[in-house]
Structure 1
Amino acid sequence: MTQQSSLSTSPPEAAQKVPHRWRNLATLTGVTVVDNTEAGMINTLFPSIAAALRLDNSGLGVIAALGKIIAVPAGPFWVWLATKIGRRAALVLTTVLGGAFGIATGFSQDFVQLAVLATLMAACLIGGSPIANAVIADSFSDRERGKAAGLFYGGVNAIASFVGPLIALFTGITDGWRFGMWALGGLCLVAGLMVWVLFRDPGVGASDGIAAPATSAVVLQKTSFRRVLSLFTIPTFSVMMISRLLSGHLLITIFGIQFLVTERGFDNATAAIVLIPFGIGYIIGTVGGGFTLPTLDRIMELRGRVFFMQLAQLVFAVAAYFGTQIVFEGILAYGVFWALMGLGQGMNPPVNRPIVSSVVPAALRGQAFAIWLTGFETVAWAIFSLGAGQLADTLGLQQVFLYVLVGSMLLNALLLTVLYRTYPRDVARAAREQGLLRA
């Protein structure tokens, strides 16, 4: 009875330290920066692309939507393929194929070619995210996963904030967007080589002591469609998926600048200034959150993670209320609240990834992240972007932001209260199952 009580209130301990984990984290960070930058480069370069190929703004919407739609089946496919050929080979393949399609995209002569090749590029690059998150979970103990996730996402966003604008400098020359796509495609090929040389797969469940670090990345039990569906029988996992659908903060990155231009009267260049404090706030949230989580684990045990995640939603909702519902004179005031929104948004990755990792079987972590990051997040993106776009025409963006950025985030924080009951129980169950596998 005493042992079960301990398992239900304390984060599980690691059975062993995994070799090469920090080198793997650095390698995955570098690769993810390149992959994410290339995947989003169409948005950055689109004004030049539109001028060269005679496109209008609807073309960007179509390409962005196709990239999100293809992610739904592509994410789980890459995770499945990783169980057949190994995660290192799958990471190399996603990056190299993504780079190849990125280079091909630079040769596009019309919209159809651009849309097809950009979609294929997105389908390849999406595979890296769920695999990388599963590898991080297999490389670091439960107590260290928040710190690792914080450094990973903080590093990705910090480096990407410089890489994107540097690549955009190509637009200053004739057909510069093509050179931008070719350059990033070439970087993807180099990144794939880096993975092949530097990455060492820890083995599924290595940080939990289920698989020896020297083993290859194959599943410990046969992963079937029925087993994947069984993830939804884990109450904590289901709550986390519903929470993703209520993540209204996704909307600020889509319509935030548009709001400042249309509702507050700033010009485009001035409005874009808020992206700097938003990015800084996000990095502070991810890295700082990762280093704060172990302290909360010691003070509040598992319930500290739920509290921290609720706090993230509340910080964002309060900042969004003041930043979007109250009128200020200059852009600097908005920059303060955009920084706080970035902080609230950035606080999520170092806590929600470890929560999911600690309640799902090690062999299914990749599929769990694929369902979450390429499935439910895509649905949420579609709901908020398409719905908000329609409602904004009648209600205005300020009113939409009140409902979504403030209202849905407060509702999200309320929903997460359920985790105070389900999360300790699910951690205890997962720990018992892993104990049986180790035995």
Structure 2
Amino acid sequence: MTIAPFTSTEGLDLIAVEGGAMTAHERPSVREWIVLLTLLTVYVLNFLDRSLLSILAKPIQDDLHISDSQLGLIGGLYFALFYCFIAIPVGWLADRSNRVHILSLACAVWSAATMCCGFAASYPQLVAARMLVGFGEAGGVPPSYAIITDTFAPRRRGMAFGIYNLGPGIGAGLGIAFGATIAASFDWRYAFIGIGAIGLVAALLVFFIIRDPVRGGKDGPRAVARPQGKAGFFATAAMFFSRPVLLLAALGSGATQFITYGLGNFATLFLMREKGMTLREVAVWYAIVVVIGMGTGMIVSGRVIDRFVGRSRQAYALVPAASLTLAIPFYLGFLWAPGWPLALALLLPPMALNFFYLSPSIALVQEEVRPDQRVMAGALYLLVMNFIGLGLGPTYVGAASDYLRASHPANSLQIALCTLTPFYIIAILLFLWLARLLKREAKA
């Protein structure tokens, strides 16, 4: 059957019907907070498992004798091939079945695969294990987006996504702190094995704690009353790629992630190799910067969206564009600072500002589609965003660093990271284009 898109005008009408002040029904209950915090815990483990490779890049390179290019491929393209494309059939299945069961199974798969990374004795074995991690993580985030959307009222979703999106910051921070400490004290392999084992326990908690909410149950009377069916795979995909608003949100996010993943996968190696940090210093100081920076970006962006999107839907695009513009000078200062203490101080602002795009973009995509299309729409959004950012960003930086090593042996990684700067401009222009389109739709 053909599924009619849930258009932006319908979303505006829905808000108008529900009234201006937040009703008692819209205030999150204890049960809703438990659901959100459980999903956040799983996302923390998701990103912790994903970020261990970049955090432990130096000891892994020394042990398995791999180059920057190989490291970029395993953390970028190889991982993204499974993570991005498997998410599409997983999203289609989740839209037609129990989303909580899909999430629980996915968490178990990626956690077991993370443990396998700790047993890898060669580069091909590590590649295979990381691909399996990507296979599992493909079923983690899209179902969670839809569960949150169907758990929280529309005007609380920015806040909910802001809290949920603390996962990458907390996960990366814990990964740096515990992963680097374990590697420095024992061996890098124990970090993968221990954290993977914790993920298996989390998979059981998801299965027994969360119940799959009613699809569209928080969208208001009109949305629930509208006839719903099983969203068709090709109909949903055609809808997504034919809607400029959805596509621009994904492309702008992808250009931003090209920077964040390109930097994130090599920041620890850069700080150790070219700024003189030790693994124990990374475990403390870099971890603090990541947790504070990314956490601040997620929370503040969610609150800003909840505050301003009621006045103008352009806020979904203007907030990311403004934050990325402010981040550029601090990012360049971080790269060219003479020592690691100043570099980390200058990294803190872009670490926050680089992540202002995520909560607004997710909320926009989820609100632009019908309730029975939300998981797959989230998966398609992640496909475009992560293939560009996660797949190509680290791959590019690793290849550029190896290419530049012959002419700049002392700072090849610094120059490679500097060449990410034009992608700030590309992302800003894409979000400004999205803002213009949202303004045109509002007038229509």
**Could you state the TM-score of these two structures normalised by the residue count of structure 2?**
0.80
Q: Helix, strand or coil for the counterpart of 2:85?
A: helix
Are positions 1:377 and 2:386 aligned together?
yes
Q: 1:113 to 1:227 in 2, by over 3 A?
A: same
> Paired residue for 1:63?
74
Q: Do the aligned partners of residues 384 and 209 (structure 1) sit closer, same or farther apart at CA in structure 2, a change above 3 Å counting?
A: same
Secondary structure of the equivalent of 2:165? helix
For residue 115 of structure 2, the aligned residue among 91, 103, 128 is 103
Residue deviations 1:277-314, cap 9 Å, x none? 3431221111122222222235x332233321221221
Distance in 1 between the 2:14 and 2:425 partners?
Answer: 26
Q: Post-superposition shift, 1:258?
A: 5.4
SS of match in other structure, 1:205: coil
Residue type of the alignment partner of 1:308: V
Structure 1 residues 107, 26: CA separation in 2 closer, same or farther (over 3 Å shift)?
Answer: same
Does the 8 Å CA contact 1:137/1:145 hold for their aligned counterparts? yes
Equivalence for 2:173 = 161
Aligned to 1:188: 199
CA contact (8 A) 1:133 1:366 kept: yes
Of stretches 64-73 and 10-19 in structure 1, the one that deviates more from structure 2 is 10-19
Alpha-carbon distance in structure 1 between the residues aligned to 2:71 and 2:94: 31
Matched AA of 1:408: F
- Tell me the amino acid that sits aligned with residue 392 of structure 2: I
Match among 127, 130, 141 for residue 129 of structure 1:
141
- 1:94 and 1:428, CA in 2 relative to 1: closer, same or farther beyond 3 A? farther
Q: Is the 8 A contact 1:142 1:354 kept in 2?
A: no
Number of the residue aligned with 2:12: 7
Aligned to 1:408: 423
Q: Counterparts of 1:45 and 1:398 in 2: how far apart (Å)?
A: 19
Classify the secondary structure of the residue corresponding to 2:215. Answer: coil
Amino acid at match of 1:343: A
Alignment partner, residue 217 of structure 2: 206
Distance, in Å, in 1 between the alignment partners of 2:418 and 2:287 is: 20
CA distances 1:179-204 after superposition (whole Å, capped 9, x unpaired): 43332222112101111111121122
Letter paired with 1:152: Y
Equivalent pair of 2:166/2:295 in contact (CA under 8 Å): yes
Contact 2:99 2:143 in 1 (8 A): yes
User: Could you tell me how far apart the structure 1 residues matched to 2:294 and 2:166 are?
Assistant: 7
In the aligned structure 1, how far is the partner of 2:245 from the partner of 2:128?
Answer: 38
Give how far 1:130 is off: 1.5
SS of 1:208's partner is coil
* Distance (whole Å) between structure 2 residues aligned to residue 172 and residue 8 of structure 1: 57
Q: Structure 1, residues 159-188: CA drift from partner, whole Å, max 9, x if none?
A: 5513553244443566x4444333222211
Counterparts of residues 111-122 of structure 1 (less than 5 Å): 111-122=123-134
Cα 1:79–1:12 change in 2 (3 A) is farther
Partner of 1:366: 375
Q: CA deviation at 1:62?
A: 4.4
Is 1:171 aligned to residue 183 of structure 2? yes
Residues 392-435 of structure 1: CA distance to partner in whole angstroms, max 9, x if unpaired?
51796666555532x33233223322333422566899xxxxxx
* Whole-angstrom CA distance in 2 between matches of 1:399 and 1:150: 33
Q: Which moved more, 1:80-89 or 1:25-34?
A: 80-89
Contact 2:162 2:298 in 1 (8 A): yes
Amino acid at match of 2:12: L
Aligned residue for 1:289?
Answer: 301
Alignment partner, residue 50 of structure 2: 39
Q: Is the 8 A contact 1:146 1:350 kept in 2?
A: yes
**What is the CA–CA distance in structure 1 between the aligned matches of 2:194 and 2:363, rounded to whole Å?**
35
Name the structure 1 match of 2:320. Answer: 309
After superposition, give the CA deviation of every residue in 1:48-68 in whole Å (9 maximum; x if it has no partner).
Answer: 55666x443465444323222
Q: Please state how far the C-alpha of 1:330 moved relative to its aligned partner.
A: 4.3
Residues 1:343 and 1:104: Cα distance change in structure 2 (over 3 Å):
closer
- For structure 1, which segment, 307-316 or 275-284, has the greater mean C-alpha deviation from structure 2 after superposition? 275-284
Structure with bigger RCO (C-alpha 8 Å, 6+ apart): 2
- Cα distance between partner residues in 2 of 1:56 and 1:29: 33
* Counterparts of 1:5 and 1:27, CA distance in 2: 31
Tell me the CA shift for residue 236 of structure 1. Answer: 0.7
Q: What corresponds to 1:434 in structure 2?
A: none
Contact 2:302 2:359 in 1 (8 A): yes
1:77 paired to 2:86: no
Q: Which moves more between the two structures, 330-339 or 119-128?
A: 330-339
CA offset at residue 88 of structure 1?
Answer: 1.0
1:141 aligns with 2:150: no
Letter in 1 for 2:278: A
Deviation sequence 1:62-107 (CA, Å, 0-9, x none): 4323222211221112222323441111011111222233334444
Q: Is the 8 A contact 2:74 2:127 kept in 1?
A: yes
Amino-acid identity (%): 20
Hey, what's the Cα distance between the residues in 1 that align with 2:429 and 2:340? 32
2:352 counterpart letter in structure 1: L
Contact persistence 1:11–1:301 (CA under 8 A): no
Asked if the contact 1:359/1:426 (under 8 Å) is kept, the reply is: no
Aligned position for 2:353: 344
Partner of 1:249: 259
Q: Report the RMSD for the aligned CA atoms in angstroms.
A: 3.6
For residue 139 of structure 1, give the secondary structure of its aligned residue in structure 2: coil
Q: Does 1:22 align with 2:33?
A: yes
